[in-house]
Structure 1
Amino acid sequence: MSFSNYETLIVLDRGPVLEVQLNRPKLANAMNLKMVHELMDVMNTCAANAHDSQIQDDQKSHRILLIKGNGGNFCAGGDIKDMQAAHSAETQEQKVAALAELNRAFGHMIQLADKLPLVTICALQGAVLGGGFGLACVSDYALCDETAVFGLPETTLGILPAQIAPFVVKRIGLTQTRRLALMSQRFKADEAISLGIAHKQVASDNWDEELNKALKQVLKCGPQANQATKALLHSVNECGSEEALNSILDQAAKDFANAVLNGEGREGAMAFMQKRPAAWSDVQVKDVEDVTAAADAKTAVANAGQE
């Protein structure tokens, strides 16, 4: 699987982990439309690979999408310059359409992240505001350190968290979302943990070690089992009636039977009885330094060939 050269992202292929760094550090990684589209490109590529029946399961290399921010901040929200550009449309109707399209694009990206078949982990440091807050709320696991500052600042700007609010409500409930959105107060990691926005706070000195522990823990799980379980949890969360719940549970029973009978289920049972790690856990996460060095060497060779 290959990824394009992105303007606003750094993408590192670390074997079973695809690390994506939001890369507008001078702007605290504020999201512009370019970043939104590039994130969607990465996620669509990952999703297509995960669902491609022509690719053997052991060749579907990426099992985790790790999202970080470059330069000490996760993401400070949307880039207001994009909104200013939308104001340049000639008529009021065109301005409304341009702003709505801009805003909805972010919502599409959040929806895609929410349902991504990979396990999504957000590493939260510094500013976790607005759109960055929303992205954290659709992660499967979120880790933060003592530098993290969370908030929904939209209403202080006279606008609303239009595409973010539904996912914040799903994450922490209506009562707390009302408080955060309508008072727009910023808060630290300890409150983010208590609200359920993030799952664990670690000291920045132990950041890489704790992050690697989380990656290794996910990789102990069967990739097909994780993918099916994530889809099941979403289905349960979205069902609105007893009839819908029955339908979900009927399908879940079939999925369970298939999991028991397929190669992954047999391997998991055998590994348990033999008291050994399952085959899928025998993978190595590449060090960031090694991946970066290899990419730099490849670029140097390419540049030398152009001289």
Structure 2
Amino acid sequence: MSYLNLFSTRDDELAPKSWATVQNHEGYKVSRKRGTVRLCLDRPHRGNSLTFTMIKEITSLFKQLSMDDSVHRIIVTGRGSYFCTGMHLKEDLFISVAERCNALQELFSTIDTCPKTTMAVINGPAFGGGVGLATVCDVRIALSTAFFCLSEVKLGLCPATISKFLVREWGISFARMAMLTGRRVKSQLLYDAGIIHALAVDIDALEKVVEEFLDDLRLAARQAASLCKMMVREAVSGHNADIDKMAGEVFETMLAHGSEASHGIAQFKRGVKDIVWEDLVKDGRPTSP
């Protein structure tokens, strides 16, 4: 198993605590720190809105990262005053409505089913598709001044591509209210509802909270985290018979010889309770420190 690609470098090269830029595209930048990749939307003059090209490229990026065993976590954030204001309606006018819809659906589905732990670091207001971008991430951290707005209804539109994710994550009543009124929903309200997982008063505090979450997430085994996501996704699908069968298969697989669990249990018996899993991955398997 090779980790020598654009996103994968040796552990000693990833040791510095600062973020290293690995890609710089028009509209977004990609940086990395050890097992964490950060995607930063970089169109502050356009509210970090998404062009059709950006949507296609970011979807491809997530697919690549999903197959990279050296990547454990992916952060999505924005530069400037906004997190993301959704798809830019004044650009890419030559792209058909169907193509735009399909591209957005693929983006949100790809992030939603990504086996890596995803984190939305919401540095400012989110509108429309930007709300969806935050909602499909596993962990959501926001500035206390940020708000979320589904203003499509005021333009004669419906947030169709993100509605299923909103209903699942926000709940039926809350999501319906937000879609029908188009009002600005403050991050504090979403935090109180358990939709936002942490708040920060300013950018410096936001970065500190992110690092605290990353410290916790580094102790989560990559494959185990992926299985957790899969089981949650199956649980909310309503396929109860399938989830019972899947649970049995997962239990058997995760306790197999040479698995993460076998290593974790062995370390626990030795008195090692906190394993930084990304430090142990060599040649595609966990090894003792």
TMscore range, shorter length: 0.7 to 0.9
Question: For the residues of structure 2 that align with 1:83 and 1:168, how far apart are their CA atoms?
Answer: 26
Q: Residue 275 of structure 1: which of 263, 271, 277 is its match?
A: 271
Say if 2:151 and 2:179, in contact at 8 Å, map to a contact too. yes
Question: For the residues of structure 2 that align with 1:117 and 1:46, how far apart are their CA atoms?
Answer: 9
Question: For the residues of structure 2 that align with 1:99 and 1:281, how far apart are their CA atoms?
Answer: 42
Task: Quickly say closer, same or farther: Cα 1:185–1:83, change in 2 above 3 A.
Answer: farther
SS at 1:120 equivalent: strand
In the other structure, the counterpart of 2:214 is: 215
RMSD: 1.7
SS at 1:71 equivalent: coil
Q: What's the CA shift string for 1:163-185, capped at 9, x where partnerless? A: 01111011112211110000000
Q: Deviation of residue 109 (structure 1)?
A: 0.3
Larger of the two Rg values belongs to structure: 1
Question: For the residues of structure 2 that align with 1:195 and 1:82, how far apart are their CA atoms?
Answer: 35
In the other structure, the counterpart of 2:13 is: none
Say if 1:77 and 1:131, in contact at 8 Å, map to a contact too. yes
SS at 2:70 equivalent: coil
Flag the structure with more relative contact order, 1 or 2, with Cα contacts below 8 A and sequence separation at least 6: 1
Question: For the residues of structure 2 that align with 1:37 and 1:212, how far apart are their CA atoms?
Answer: 29
Question: For the residues of structure 2 that align with 1:200 and 1:209, how far apart are their CA atoms?
Answer: 11
In the other structure, the counterpart of 2:58 is: 39
For structure 2, the residue ranges without an aligned partner over 5 or more in a row are 8-22, 281-289
Q: What's the CA shift string for 1:50-78, capped at 9, x where partnerless? A: xxxxxxxxxx2110010010123210122
In the other structure, the counterpart of 1:25 is: 44
Counterpart residue type for residue 267 of structure 1: H
In the other structure, the counterpart of 2:19 is: none
Give the total of aligned pairs: 258
Q: By percentage of residues, which structure has more helix?
A: 1
Provide TM-score, normalisation by structure 1. 0.79
Provide TM-score, normalisation by structure 2. 0.84
Question: For the residues of structure 2 that align with 1:247 and 1:146, how far apart are their CA atoms?
Answer: 40
In the other structure, the counterpart of 2:254 is: 259
Say if 1:168 and 1:177, in contact at 8 Å, map to a contact too. yes
Say if 1:9 and 1:38, in contact at 8 Å, map to a contact too. no
Counterpart residue type for residue 254 of structure 2: A
The answer as to 2:76 corresponding to 1:67 is: yes
Q: What's the CA shift string for 1:116-175, capped at 9, x where partnerless? A: 000000000212111110011111100011221111011111111110111101111221
Q: Deviation of residue 251 (structure 1)?
A: 2.0
In the other structure, the counterpart of 1:160 is: 158
Q: Deviation of residue 223 (structure 1)?
A: 0.7
In the other structure, the counterpart of 2:228 is: 229
Question: For the residues of structure 2 that align with 1:216 and 1:165, how far apart are their CA atoms?
Answer: 32
Identity percentage over the alignment? 25
Q: What's the CA shift string for 1:194-220, capped at 9, x where partnerless? A: 233311112214221110111111110
Q: Residue 6 of structure 2: which of 2, 14, 27 is its match?
A: 2
Question: For the residues of structure 1 that align with 2:242 and 2:49, how far apart are their CA atoms?
Answer: 41
Counterpart residue type for residue 185 of structure 1: R
Q: What's the CA shift string for 1:203-240, capped at 9, x where partnerless? A: 2142211101111111101111011111111111113x
